[in-house]
């Protein structure tokens, strides 16, 4: 009896739901068939590698969030009347226009919650009682070319805010160039590393984690 059979037998004996993890080859295309529609099952599996034809970032992140990608403590807000703009939209990445020289070669400048489409801007905060001393910022951003083919995924880490540490490969900049902690940290720009196989004009999958509000996914075109 292999492990899958064992887990399924266990589930039938106990009546419990046992999730059998699927195994992805490291660096391989996750969900190697190009998706033509929004995924509905296995929402906590890695997001589709290629952008689904009918991609809806709010609907996808709402479903994946309720399936476990968003902490229970935040679900009432996410599912509430302001959920789309004030909570889900607030956590979606967008690409601000920044002054030349702000973004190092091989990096992408990302902010969260685009006011131009009515989304609340994501604040950032140091560890405090207000956030269970976890802090409030994105501590990892994973980027890969949005393709069903094999592609490298690069994870940028941010172990502190308002400044990163020496061990981090991610970095910060400030929209407008002022104090990063002003405006509740909403002017923070995340500089995230691009994989070597990504060029200007490519669509990338951005999969990222807010320390207090969970994981979010969207697809962006590299400028
Ligand atoms: Fe957040």
Distance 212 CA to ligand 1 centre (A): 6
Distance 124 CA to ligand 1 centre (A): 8
CA distance 38 to 48: 9
Instruction: Give me the residues of the chain with pLDDT under 70, please.
Output: 1-43
Identify the pLDDT of residue 37: 66
Distance 122 CA to ligand 1 centre (A): 6
Q: Write down the pTM of the prediction.
A: 0.82
pLDDT tens-digit profile of 19-63?
Answer: 333 333 333 344 444 556 665 545 588 999 999 999 999 999 999
Distance 25 CA to ligand 1 centre (A): 30
Beta strand extents in the chain (DSSP E only)? 93-94, 107-112, 138-145, 153-157, 171-174, 188-193, 203-210, 214-221
Distance 30 CA to ligand 1 centre (A): 26
Q: Which domains does the chain have, with CATH numbers?
A: 48-221 (2.60.40.730)
Identify the pLDDT of residue 15: 39
Distances (CA, A) of 110 to 31, 205, 222: 25, 13, 11
Beta strand extents in 113-164 (DSSP E only)? 138-145, 153-157
Distance 143 CA to ligand 1 centre (A): 19
Distance 157 CA to ligand 1 centre (A): 16
């Amino acid at each position: 009896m292999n492990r899958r059979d064992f887990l399924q037998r266990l589930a039938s004996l106990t009546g419990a739901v046992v999730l059998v993890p699927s195994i992805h080859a490291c660096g391989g295309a996750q969900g190697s068939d190009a998706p033509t529609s929004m995924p509905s099952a296995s929402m906590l599996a890695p997001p589709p590698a290629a952008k689904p034809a009918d991609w809806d970032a709010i609907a996808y992140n709402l479903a994946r969030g309720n399936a476990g990608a968003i902490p229970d403590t935040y679900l009432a807000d996410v599912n509430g009347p302001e959920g789309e703009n004030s909570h889900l939209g607030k956590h979606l990445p967008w690409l601000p226009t920044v002054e030349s020289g702000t973004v190092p070669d091989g990096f992408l400048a990302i902010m969260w919650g685009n006011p131009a489409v009515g989304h609340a801007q994501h604040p950032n905060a140091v560890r405090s009682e207000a956030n269970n001393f976890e802090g409030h910022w994105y501590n990892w951003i994973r980027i890969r070319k949005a393709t069903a083919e094999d592609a490298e995924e690069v994870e940028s880490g941010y172990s502190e805010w308002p400044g990163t540490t020496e061990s981090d490969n991610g970095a910060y900049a400030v929209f407008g160039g002022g104090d990063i902690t002003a405006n509740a940290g909403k002017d923070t720009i995340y500089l995230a590393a691009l994989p070597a196989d990504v060029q200007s004009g490519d669509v990338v999958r951005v999969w990222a984690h807010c320390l207090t509000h969970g994981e979010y996914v969207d697809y962006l075109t590299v400028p």
